C-alpha cells in the first residue's frame, strides 16, 4: 500500500516571478491535481517576466536530465501585455506580445530537441497567466469586480478598472510588501480554493488554462 500511496504523489517544479507566490501556487496545484506533490527545486530563480522567459529553457533542460520532476508549472503576470484569448489557441497561431503564447512556444521548442531521459519522454508543461497580476487571483471571490474580463474590457476601452498597485494595496496593505508577509497573505487568500478552484477558473481564464494543462498530465 505504501508504494501505491507514494505513486500518487506528483513531483513537480514551479517557476514564477517571485518566490512569495510559489507556496500559494502549490496549494492551487494540489487542489487541481487532487493529490499532493513533492516540490523539485529548479536550478535557477527568476525575478520578473523577462527573466522567467530567459531562464525557462535552462530550467527545463535541468529538470529533464538531472531530476525526476514530472512537470514544470510556470506562472507570470500579464502586466500591460496582450492577454491570451481562445483565438490564440488555434493550431500554429502565436501572438508575439502574449506571454502565455511565448512561454508555451519556448516550452515546445525546448522539449522537442531533448532525447528521453530518466524514464520519461519529457517534462510536462503547465502555464498560467495572472491578469493583470497574481494579486487579482488572490482577490477572486472577495471582489466580484476583479476578473480577467473586467481587465480585458478595460484595456479595450482604454480605461483600466484598477491598477496593479491598487490590487497589491488591497492584498498587502502596501504595494511593497516584504517577501515573508507577501507569502503569508497569498497563502491565506488561496485557502478559499484549496478544495475547489472552479470560481478561480471561471473568473480567470489564465488560471483555467493552467488547470487544463495540469488535468491533462498523466501522472500514473
Note the residues at the interface with Zn ion (CB under 5 A).
84, 88, 95, 98, 100-101
Of 38, 47, 75, the C-alpha closest to 190 is 75
Cα–Cα distance measured from residue 155 to residue 159, given in angstroms and rounded to the nearest whole number: 6
Please, which residue, 86 or 180, has the CB nearer to Zn ion?
86
d(CA 106, CA 200): 26
Is 186 or 208 the residue whose CB approaches Zn ion more closely?
A: 208
Whether 167 and 136 have beta carbons less than 8 Å apart is answered as yes
* Beta carbon nearer to Zn ion, 98 or 171: 98
> Which DSSP letter does residue 124 get?
E
Distance CA 63, CA 71 (A): 9
| CB nearer to Zn ion: pick between 84 and 164 | 84
CB of 67 vs Zn ion, minimal distance in Å: 28
CB of 95 to Zn ion, least distance (A): 4
Rounded to a whole number of angstroms, the minimum distance from the CB of residue 109 to Zn ion is 16
Q: Whole-number minimum distance, CB 105 to Zn ion, in Å?
A: 9
* Shortest CB 101 distance to Zn ion, Å: 3
CA distance 201 to 220: 24
Nearer to Zn ion, 15 or 129 (CB): 129
Q: Phi and psi dihedrals of 58, rounded to 5?
A: -65, -35
Amino acid at each position: 500500500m505504501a508504494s501505491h500511496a507514494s505513486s500518487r504523489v506528483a513531483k513537480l517544479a514551479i517557476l514564477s516571478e517571485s518566490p512569495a507566490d510559489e507556496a500559494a501556487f502549490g496549494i492551487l496545484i494540489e487542489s487541481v491535481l487532487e493529490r499532493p506533490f513533492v516540490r523539485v527545486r529548479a536550478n535557477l530563480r527568476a525575478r520578473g517576466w523577462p527573466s522567467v522567459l530567459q531562464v525557462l529553457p535552462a530550467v527545463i533542460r535541468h529538470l529533464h536530465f538531472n531530476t525526476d520532476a514530472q512537470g514544470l508549472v510556470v506562472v507570470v503576470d500579464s502586466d500591460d501585455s496582450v492577454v491570451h484569448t481562445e483565438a490564440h489557441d488555434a493550431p500554429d497561431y502565436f501572438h508575439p506580445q502574449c506571454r502565455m503564447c511565448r512561454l508555451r512556444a519556448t516550452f515546445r521548442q525546448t522539449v522537442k530537441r531533448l532525447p528521453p531521459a530518466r524514464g520519461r519522454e519529457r517534462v510536462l508543461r503547465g502555464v498560467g497567466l495572472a491578469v493583470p497580476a497574481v494579486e487579482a487571483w488572490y482577490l477572486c471571490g472577495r471582489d466580484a469586480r476583479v476578473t480577467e474580463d473586467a481587465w480585458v474590457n478595460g484595456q479595450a476601452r482604454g480605461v483600466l478598472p484598477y491598477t496593479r498597485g491598487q490590487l497589491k494595496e488591497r492584498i498587502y496593505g502596501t504595494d511593497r510588501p516584504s517577501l515573508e508577509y507577501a507569502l503569508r497573505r497569498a497563502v491565506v487568500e488561496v485557502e478559499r480554493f484549496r478544495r475547489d478552484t472552479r470560481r478561480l477558473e471561471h473568473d480567470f481564464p489564465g488560471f483555467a488554462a493552467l488547470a487544463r494543462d495540469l488535468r491533462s498530465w498523466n501522472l500514473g
